[in-house]
């Protein structure tokens, strides 16, 4: 086997894992879109906010420190304690659930029966508000997120596979990416199980399908919305942790939402497995394209190739790979 | 038959109990249009109560008032001897009122089994955390309710389509699944909005049989809207007749059949 063969495999493996990272973000979109038909523009910012909150709690930052100091002339910054990672994650999850409750209370409740475009606008407003609020609460500096996951290339794998071909120095796979993949797989499997075999899961699917019928069997729409936004908050937290650990918690993190868009176009807006498979196809596609064609056209193809791929899919399957087929009976 | 009596005995010898639901002077308006005007009637424990009337008489509106989709501007609703406060439909479902819809409102992407399982929603009490952990209370509760659902599936003879997404089922079967979802709730009061609309003769016979069996075997109180007069007269114990939002008749099928106002409403009468 020539070395390029192994390098191609390495590119594919890395593409798959990058794709899973995109999927983590796409998953949050799918959850909310499926249950309420709302395209939640704020999903990326939710991931950022979750990550900011996690770091803030973990490192014992004083929330709204800047605001407090300005008003009272004090110099608070840190509480001076460190919160164990697991506790901090649970607390951050609590904040995301509280956030979901507030979104329902203050926004969604008042927009019942409005057009999807109105709700979409509301989520745009929400996104920018949250970005500012996150800044106000935790400060705008780039933060390092360490949740104890191993980082950097896996040396064992590299050593074990080196020399499989002449000029091949072993597979280089990032530990964090591998962890992210494992976590995403577990997350999706549990979400699927939850949605298929529990009372609340069925209620979520029921509301997604027919509001009136759901009401008639005793399901409260508002409770379901809080649950859905909480789940999306949870997924955002996971995505925030993974992306934050990879590239630091900074405000550009909210832009990962843009990477989720082609994934959604490809996988369909209503399918959880679609988000995963879509992410993987996008990940592999853009990495392979960059690897094989990139060098001839000056590289940096990863910024746009995903969208070309997604557009191609749109032409042939407008509902996405796994989306519900759009059939209009005449 | 005396309308104020505490109980009465039907033609086929069943004893009908006290009122489960009493509608008192209900008036429902949409803007300037009065859909229901000052209507009172009751539904008694164990009976099959039909609401009939020409198109636009206010039958479906009445069902929507009972089930909480509409809130009447005037009048009182008494359920099990208590005056009901204005409630959301899901709260009313929790009180034990289940319904089907004229234009079938099933969860089309879900299987027959899952659809009927949603009918058990109000009976399942484990919280989110327990469900997330799954092992223990949540799993036990799921299995317990699954048994009840399987019983409903057997009862309605739809074992063969248990795993089929209901969107793919023919119309008649969808109607049956919808009935199954309402039955799974083991309701105190079952509302059926045109259970036989759009069915052929054979399907109508099946559905009539199921309705009678439900009433007979589980003692379920049923209120139904239906256009097929033959069916209504056959299966119901008492009939209330609406026309232009007003009540024009109330009594046993025989009484209603011979009521001049009802005959006029259905056949039309020369106004001079």
Condensed to tens digits (0 to 9), the pLDDT of residues A132-166 reads 999 999 988 888 888 888 888 888 888 888 777 77
Annotate B91-146 with DSSP letters as a single string.
Answer: HHHHTTEEE--TT----TTSBHHHHHHHTTGGG----HHHHHH-TTHHHHHHHHHH
Q: Decide: residue B258, CB within 10 A, 0-12 exposed, 13-18 middle, 19+ buried.
A: exposed
Instruction: Kindly state whether residues B210 and B79 are assigned to the same domain.
Output: yes
What would the mean pLDDT of A176-185 be, rounded to a whole number? 89
Q: Which residues of A touch B121 (CB under 8 A)?
A: 199, 202-203, 217-219
Per-residue pLDDT, B1: 43
Instruction: Kindly state whether residues B162 and B197 are assigned to the same domain.
Output: no
Residue B65 CB neighbours (<10 A): 22
**Distance, CA of A68 to CA of B227 (rounded, Å):** 69
**Distance, CA of A111 to CA of A76 (rounded, Å):** 39
What element of type H or E holds B67? helix B59-67
Asked if the C-beta of B179 comes within 8 angstroms of chain A's C-beta atoms, the answer is no
A291 pLDDT band, cuts 50/70/90, is confident
**Least CB–CB distance from B110: residue in A205, A220, A221:** A205
Of A43-57, A94-108, A257-271, give the lowest mean pLDDT range. Answer: A257-271
**This prediction's pTM:** 0.87
pLDDT per position as a tens digit, B165-199 = 999 999 999 999 999 999 999 999 999 999 998 89
What does each C-alpha distance from A20 to A147, A284, B9, B34 come to in angstroms?
A: 19, 10, 68, 57
Mutation pick from A93, A94, A213 vs chain B, by most beta carbons of B within 10 Å, is: A213
Asked if the C-beta of B132 comes within 8 angstroms of chain A's C-beta atoms, the answer is yes
User: Residue B2 pLDDT more than 60?
Assistant: no
Instruction: Kindly state whether residues B166 and B200 are assigned to the same domain.
Output: no
| Distance linking the first and last C-alpha atoms of chain B | 34
Residue B51 pairs in a beta bridge with B225, B240
pLDDT per position as a tens digit, B101-125 = 999 999 998 999 999 999 999 999 9
Q: Which residues of B touch A215 (CB under 8 A)?
A: 69, 88-90, 93
Asked if the C-beta of B124 comes within 8 angstroms of chain A's C-beta atoms, the answer is yes
Is B191 domain-assigned?
A: yes
Q: Which residues of B touch A94 (CB under 8 A)?
A: none
**Distance, CA of A165 to CA of A296 (rounded, Å):** 25
pLDDT per position as a tens digit, A74-129 = 888 888 888 999 999 999 999 999 999 999 999 988 988 788 899 999 999 999 99
Domain boundary among B147, B162, B181: B181
Instruction: Give φ, ψ of A125 to 5 degrees.
Output: -55, -45
**Listing from the earlier edge strand, what are the strands of the sheet with B74-79?**
B33-44, B19-30, B74-79, B82-83
DSSP class of residue B251 equals E
Closest CA to A20 of A192, A243, A230: A243
pLDDT per position as a tens digit, B27-54 = 999 988 999 999 999 999 999 999 999 8
Q: Return the biggest CA–CA distance within chain A.
A: 69
Is B101 domain-assigned?
A: no
Is B106 domain-assigned?
A: no
Task: Report helix angle A256-267 to A305-316, nearest 10.
Answer: 20
Asked if the C-beta of B87 comes within 8 angstroms of chain A's C-beta atoms, the answer is no
Instruction: Kindly state whether residues B79 and B213 are assigned to the same domain.
Output: yes
Is B272 domain-assigned?
A: yes
Instruction: Kindly state whether residues B191 and B89 are assigned to the same domain.
Output: yes
Q: Spell out a b/e string for B24-56, using b for 16 or more CB atoms within 10 Å of the CB, else e.
A: eebbbeeeeebbbbebebbbbbbbbbbbbbeee
Inter-chain touch A324–B109, beta carbons under 8 Å:
yes
Pairing of strands B189-193, B97-99: parallel
Per-residue pLDDT, A328: 58
pLDDT per position as a tens digit, A231-253 = 999 999 999 999 998 888 988 88
Q: Supply the ipTM of this predicted assembly.
A: 0.89
Instruction: Kindly state whether residues B127 and B72 are assigned to the same domain.
Output: no
Q: Are B79 and B20 in contact (CB under 8 A)?
A: yes
Q: Which residues of A touch B122 (CB under 8 A)?
A: 217-218
- What is the CATH number for B65? 3.40.50.300
Instruction: Give φ, ψ of A77 to 5 degrees.
Output: -145, -55
Query: Domains in chain A, ordered, with CATH?
Result: 3-316 (1.10.3470)
Instruction: Kindly state whether residues B60 and B78 are assigned to the same domain.
Output: yes
Per-residue pLDDT, B134: 87
Chains A and B form CB pairs within 8 A to the count of 92
Q: Which residue has the tokens 């399942």?
A: B124
How many residues appear in chain B?
272
Instruction: Kindly state whether residues B155 and B192 are assigned to the same domain.
Output: no
Instruction: Kindly state whether residues B119 and B83 are assigned to the same domain.
Output: no
Is B124 domain-assigned?
A: yes
Residues 6+ apart with CB under 8 A from A37: A116, A119
Instruction: Kindly state whether residues B151 and B263 are assigned to the same domain.
Output: no
State percent of chain A over pLDDT 70.
Answer: 97
Is B104 domain-assigned?
A: no
Q: Which residues of A touch B105 (CB under 8 A)?
A: 210, 212-213, 216
Instruction: Give φ, ψ of B170 to 5 degrees.
Output: -65, 160
**Distance, CA of B162 to CA of B173 (rounded, Å):** 11
Those residues of chain A whose CB sits closer than 8 Å to some CB in chain B are 190, 193-194, 197-203, 205-206, 208-210, 212-221, 227, 324
For residue B150, the number of C-alpha atoms closer than 13 Å in the C-beta half-sphere is: 6
Show the tokens assigned to B135. 């092992």
Q: Which residues of A touch B141 (CB under 8 A)?
A: 199
Is B223 domain-assigned?
A: yes
Instruction: Kindly state whether residues B175 and B219 are assigned to the same domain.
Output: no
What is the number of structural domains in chain B? Answer: 2
Q: Which residues of B touch A198 (CB under 8 A)?
A: 131-132, 134, 138, 142
Q: Are A329 and A277 in contact (CB under 8 A)?
A: no
- CA quadruple B148, B154, B159, B165: dihedral sign: negative
**Least CB–CB distance from A199: residue in B67, B108, B121:** B121
Closest CA to A285 of A297, A267, A302, A265: A302
Residue A24 pairs in a beta bridge with none
Instruction: Give φ, ψ of B82 to 5 degrees.
Output: -125, 140
Residue B56 φ/ψ region, left for φ over 0, alpha for ψ in the -120 to 50 degree band, beta for the rest: left
Instruction: Give φ, ψ of B262 to 5 degrees.
Output: -65, -45
User: Residue B3 pLDDT more than 60?
Assistant: no
Range of the domain at B144: 111-181
Instruction: Kindly state whether residues B49 and B127 are assigned to the same domain.
Output: no
Is B105 domain-assigned?
A: no
């Amino acid at each position: 086997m020539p070395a390029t063969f192994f390098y191609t495999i390495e590119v594919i493996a890395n593409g798959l894992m990058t794709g899973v990272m995109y999927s983590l973000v796409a998953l949050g979109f799918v959850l909310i879109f499926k249950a309420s038909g709302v395209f939640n523009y704020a999903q990326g910012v939710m991931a950022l906010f979750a990550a900011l909150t996690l770091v803030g709690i973990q490192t014992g930052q004083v929330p709204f420190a800047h605001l407090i100091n300005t008003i009272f002339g004090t110099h608070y910054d840190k509480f001076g304690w460190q919160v164990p990672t697991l506790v901090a994650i649970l607390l951050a999850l609590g904040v995301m659930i509280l956030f979901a409750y507030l979104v329902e209370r203050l926004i969604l409740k008042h927009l019942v029966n409005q057009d999807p475009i109105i709700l979409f606008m509301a989520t745009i407003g929400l996104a920018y508000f949250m970005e500012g609020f996150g800044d106000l609460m935790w400060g705008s500096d780039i933060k390092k997120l360490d949740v104890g996951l191993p980082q950097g290339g896996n040396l064992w794998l590299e050593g074990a596979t080196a020399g499989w071909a002449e000029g091949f120095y072993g597979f280089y796979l990032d530990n964090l990416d591998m962890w992210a993949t494992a976590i995403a797989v577990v997350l999706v499997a549990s979400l699927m199980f939850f949605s298929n075999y529990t009372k609340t899961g069925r209620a979520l699917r029921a509301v997604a399908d027919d509001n009136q019928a759901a009401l008639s069997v005793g399901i409260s729409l508002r409770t379901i919305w809080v649950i859905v936004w909480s789940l999306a908050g949870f997924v955002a937290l996971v995505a925030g942790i993974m992306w934050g650990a990879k590239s630091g918690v900074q405000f550009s993190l909210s832009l990962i939402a843009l990477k989720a868009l082609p994934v959604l176009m490809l996988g369909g807006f209503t399918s959880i497995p679609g988000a995963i498979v879509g992410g993987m196809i996008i990940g592999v596609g853009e990495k392979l394209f960059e690897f094989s064609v990139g060098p001839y056209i000056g590289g940096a193809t990863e910024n746009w190739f995903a969208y070309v791929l997604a557009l191609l899919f749109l032409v042939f399957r407008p509902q996405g790979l796994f989306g519900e087929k759009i059939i209009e009976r005449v | 038959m005396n309308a104020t009596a505490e109980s009465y005995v039907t033609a086929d010898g069943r004893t009908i109990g006290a009122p489960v639901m009493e509608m008192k002077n209900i008036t429902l308006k949409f803007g300037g249009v009065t859909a229901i005007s000052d209507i009172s009637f009751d539904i008694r424990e164990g009976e099959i109560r039909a609401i009939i009337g020409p198109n636009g008489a206010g039958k479906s509106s009445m069902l929507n008032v009972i089930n909480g989709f509409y809130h009447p501007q005037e009048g009182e609703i008494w359920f099990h001897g208590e005056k009901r406060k204005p409630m959301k439909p899901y709260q009313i479902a929790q009180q034990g009122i289940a319904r089907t819809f004229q234009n079938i409102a099933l969860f089309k992407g879900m299987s027959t089994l899952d659809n009927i399982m949603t009918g058990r929603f109000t009976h399942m009490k484990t919280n989110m955390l327990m469900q997330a952990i799954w092992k223990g209370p949540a799993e036990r509760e799921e299995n317990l309710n699954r048994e009840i659902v399987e019983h409903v599936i057997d009862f309605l003879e739809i074992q063969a389509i248990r795993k089929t997404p209901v969107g793919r089922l023919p119309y008649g079967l969808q109607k049956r699944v919808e009935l199954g979802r309402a039955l799974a709730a083991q309701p105190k009061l079952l509302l059926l909005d045109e259970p036989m609309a759009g069915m052929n003769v054979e399907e109508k016979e099946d559905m009539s049989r199921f309705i009678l069996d439900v009433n007979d075997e589980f003692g379920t109180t049923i209120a139904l809207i239906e256009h097929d007069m033959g069916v209504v007269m056959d299966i119901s114990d008492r009939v209330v007749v609406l026309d232009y939002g007003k009540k024009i008749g109330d009594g046993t099928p025989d009484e209603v059949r011979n009521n001049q106002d009802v005959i006029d409403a259905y056949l039309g009468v020369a106004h001079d």
